[in-house]
Chain A
Amino acid sequence: MIDKDERDQSLESPLCDICKHHAVEIDTEIDELLETIWVLREKGKVTENHYRESGAGNVILDNLDRLKKMNLIYLKEGHVTFTDGGEKHARDLIRRHRLTERMLTDLFDIPRGRIEAPSCQFEHILSEEVTDSICSFLGHPSTCPHGRPIPPGECCKKLTKTITPLVIPLVDLMPGEKGRIVFIATKDRRRLRRLSSLGINPEGIVTVNQKLPTVVIHVDETEIAMDHALVSEIYVKRITDNG
């Protein structure tokens, strides 16, 4: 068998030009300040006095002028309030940060203790489109793993009534529903081969016929019964009849 290091090396690629370019542009300090204001606001701490009491606010007090100058916040009777632009910027940051946390815990099973650092990096670099895709992929989650709310994005608003993630385990489809296979998340090659030989491959369209006592799905013209464990490794995009 191949050892892991070998493969990882082969996949390594140098930063592309765009990455280098962006790395310079990002002003992470401002981002952190906005985030702190947002988090304090969630705790009901919105005045300069509050900031002074909680140690975390001091850094904002030192930078208030800078933020005001950038037209991100304004001060009114000791209350720190976001401008429209500042509000949006902060909300997007928080959204990206907390979605990243969700993704790292839910999708990749990274222990909660280790998600903070990567989340802090991701929040500065994700584009809106990518953020919305991650959000949809995760099923428009409403809270981060620590239980704090994730501000909804455009993608969530479109689906305010039915919160349906884009990519879900096949086993989550209801009987009668159809899905297009996106990927099969198994490390067991025999499984993959077996599924493949029965016509269960990425891009294939499957219909769930029943879920009890055993899951039965329909692929092409074949009906296949299989264990729950297997079906939950197949990820699909739900297909509705109107497209």
Chain B
Amino acid sequence: MSFIKQKKKSEEQIKNIILIGNPNVGKSVIFGILTGQYVVVSNYPGTTVEISRGNAGFHGNKYQVIDTPGIANLLPMSTDEVVTRDILFEEKDSVIIQVADSKNLARTLLITLQLAEMKIPFILVMNMMDEARERRINIDFKKLSKMLGTQVFPTVAISRTGTDKILPAIEKADVSTYEFKYDPFIEDAVKKIEGYLPDFPISKRSVAIMLLSEDMSLNKWLDEKLTPQGREEIQGIIRDTRKRYPDPLEIVINKERLQNTDRLIKEVAVIEKAPRKGFMYNAGRICMHPVWGVPILIAVLTLMYFFVGKFAAGTVVDFFMGTVFGNAVEGTGIINPFIARVLESIIPIKFVQDLLVGEYGLISVGITYAIAIVLPIVAAFFFFFGILEDSGYLPRLAIIANRVCKWAGLNGKAVLPLILGLGCGAMATISARILDSPKERMLVILLLALGVPCSAQLGLIMGMLAGLKSYAFFIWLFIVLGSMILVGFIANKLIPGETSDFILEIPPLRFPSLKNIAVKTLARIEWYLREAVPIFLLATLFLFFIDKVGILQIIRDMAAPVMAKILSLPPEVTDSFMMGFLRRDYGAAGLLEMARKGMLSNNQILVSMVTITLFLPCVAQMFVIIKEKGLKTAVAVAAFVFTFAFIVGGLLNFALNALGVVL
């Protein structure tokens, strides 16, 4: 140990701390505590899909902390598990913090055994001690620490209990002394394979065992580090060993590991039979109940409709738009008329005045839309969404929706990225990675591009439709959901590949911590302000210029036949659709403004809402699609979505007229 310290000091190298563990055990919470950096924390597995890096320091030692997506096994199965496992290969001079759910010792120790095998220094953080205690699971941490030969810390990370001991322990972190032997034939093969392996950042023994488990994701490493002959020899050893067992080697190896974890658990844990009938437990059951689950879902949606649609997009936006910001031309409100007057007196140049407070003014439109319209809605939505996330309701929703998802070639798990798309389509497109098959990822990306409105857009839609007949919102919901199911159904037939099994861990229903929700909402608002406001300004600037040079009018004229004939919408709506491509909420905000000014009839509002919901995803989301799926696919998706939106909008308009519906 002293040797390691000396080496470290002389090289002045920054050590890595890698957080590893099962999904939904609190890695991101601990990351936040160690680095002081906020990453999104929720109560469902798969919140973290990308690696986050941050810095931490203790007693003059500097560390880089790496947060990873949750894994169930160090033999990876999905893309995000490969990501995590590869970090162990790539990051030299690392200490691992295995974060664990104390209630689930068996699954924890399965990973612990593999870390021990890898001979990487690590410490074990047994998180969620409170929940384990509640369930009468008593763990002898001292004994566990002794048996594993590694440091073990019980914590309740969300309330920072016990977490102060983590950083000081890093310097003393050492490789585990725990060892166990597999079946003799396997041990024999391991020894032989080790002989062919070059040095890895992890022990040769562990690599050999991974190879025996036929971990295909290792191939790329082998290609790099081994000669073809070496690979051939290893393949031969694996083939010979395979013959010794009726089951695949992976299963044999796994079985032996499980037997070992069982042995460990019997030594260190006493699980008293606990009554598990708490209020939260029962509430959690009701949320996924075949009968009660549906009214609860409707109740949740209604609540959201009232909170985000009626309250935020209605009352609050009216207040900000009408009373606070107002309109310079009409002389309403405070801020906009005030700025207009000030500008008139200090800068008597018409162009500058127009640029700032004109029809497409940076302040009168860009800032006003961003702050007065979108911000209240986004804030309300993020707050509400935070409660849903932290309570653990979303995975339960996946259970209710599993059947419907099956029609679209997906399974319930797809609900998570789709719902996440209500927050931000671009981020949700990335989180499609939690799905297991490429086909499902493609389907979800397509559906996100097609029909999932982002938070501000959804709020605006709810707000605008709230002014119409009560069933208008349900027509909208029906058309959008129906389109998604229809497109999913057809795409399912066209896109090759298979739908994976639906297996989803359901976290316990928890009372959300108000603090976490506040922090999360604020972090997301900050993100919104940083991302959205500049784009709002840029988009406004863009509109301003193309308006000044007359291009806007040309585009409007070009689009007018489509707008008028197919959708029966005024030509100005074109602006909103164009802006909707830059940011969807900007487009919807434009429509809201038009509706407020009485430029749209109720039927027109519904048609424009449906069309803009289905319309192109924003630029940011397009870029993510390109990154995840390539330019060709992205263009195909965009072309399809574009056409589809107008067809559906047109059909709706036609139906409304034909049926003589007046909303």
Contacts and interface: CB of A to CB of B under 8 A. Distances in A.
Interface stretch (B115-123, B427-435, B503-511, B533-541): B503-511
A2 B107 CA distance: 30
B506 A216 contact: yes
Nearest to A224: B505
Nearest to A8: B246
Interface stretch (B285-293, B330-338, B356-364): B285-293
Contacts of B412: 214, 225
A222 B505 contact: yes
A226 B399 CA distance: 8
Interface stretch (B236-244, B343-351, B455-463): B236-244
Interface in A217-243: 220-227, 229-230
A25 B258 CA distance: 44
Q: Which of A191, A213, A224, A229: most chain B Cβ within 10 A? A: A213
Contact of B506 (A196, A213, A223): A223
Contacts of A221: 101, 103-104, 132, 135, 137
A188 B574 CA distance: 52
Contacts of A196: 73, 254, 258
Interface in B398-415: 398-400, 402-403, 411-412
Interface string B98-109: 000101111100
Nearest to A202: B255
A7 B412 CA distance: 38
B250 A193 contact: yes
Interface in B474-527: 501-508
B503 A194 contact: yes
A210 B290 CA distance: 8
B285 A210 contact: yes
B502 A225 contact: yes
Interface string B134-158: 0101000000000000000000000
B248 interface: yes
Interface string B389-402: 00000010011101
B141 to A, nearest CB: 18
A195 B503 contact: yes
Interface in B593-647: none
A227 B242 contact: no
A229 B502 CA distance: 9
Interface in A69-112: none
Interface residues of A, number: 33
Contacts of B293: 213
B251 interface: yes
B501 A230 contact: yes
B243 A6 contact: yes
Interface of A is mostly: mixed
B288 A216 contact: yes
Nearest to A226: B503
A225 B506 CA distance: 7
A197 B290 contact: no
A20 interface: no
B110 interface: yes
A220 B105 CA distance: 9
Contacts of A225: 288, 395, 398-399, 402, 412, 502-506
B501 A194 contact: yes
B72 interface: yes
A192 interface: yes
Contact of B288 (A11, A190, A210, A226): A210
B257 to A, nearest CB: 9
B546 interface: no
Contacts of B73: 193, 196-197
Contacts of A22: none
A189 to B, nearest CB: 6
Nearest to B294: A213
A48 to B, nearest CB: 53
Contacts of B370: none
Contacts of A230: 501-503
Contacts of B75: 193
Contacts of A190: 77
A10 B243 CA distance: 6
Given A11-B246, A196-B258, A209 B77 contact: no
Interface string B71-92: 0110101000000000000000
Contact of A226 (B103, B400, B501): B501
B190 to A, nearest CB: 19
Given A197-B72, A226-B501, A214 B399 contact: yes
A198 B72 contact: yes
Contacts of A197: 72-73, 77, 107, 110
Nearest to B284: A223
A212 interface: yes
Contacts of B398: 225
Contacts of B505: 198, 222-225
A209 B502 contact: no
A209 B250 contact: no
A212 B288 CA distance: 9
Contact of A216 (B246, B399, B411): B399
Nearest to B71: A197
A131 interface: no
A193 B107 contact: no
B248 A189 contact: yes
A224 B403 contact: no
Interface string B289-303: 110010000000000
B322 to A, nearest CB: 45
Contacts of B508: 223
A186 to B, nearest CB: 10
Interface in A163-207: 189-199, 201
Q: Which of B105, B244, B290: most chain A Cβ within 10 A? A: B290
A213 B400 contact: yes
B290 A224 contact: no
A10 B239 CA distance: 13
A143 to B, nearest CB: 33
Contacts of B248: 189
B212 to A, nearest CB: 13
A193 B508 CA distance: 23
Contacts of B501: 191, 194, 226-227, 229-230
Nearest to A228: B502
Give the 8 A-B residue pairs with the shortest CB-CB distance, closest first.
Answer: A197-B72, A212-B290, A221-B103, A223-B506, A197-B73, A226-B503, A227-B502, A214-B402
Given A194-B77, A222-B103, A222-B104, 16 more contacts: A193-B77, A198-B503, A212-B290, A213-B290, A214-B288, A214-B403, A214-B412, A216-B506, A221-B103, A221-B104, A221-B132, A222-B107, A224-B505, A227-B402, A227-B411, A227-B502
28 contacts: A2-B243, A10-B243, A191-B501, A193-B75, A193-B250, A194-B77, A195-B503, A196-B254, A197-B73, A197-B107, A197-B110, A198-B107, A199-B106, A199-B107, A210-B285, A210-B288, A213-B402, A220-B106, A221-B103, A221-B137, A223-B506, A224-B504, A224-B506, A225-B402, A225-B505, A226-B503, A226-B504, A230-B502
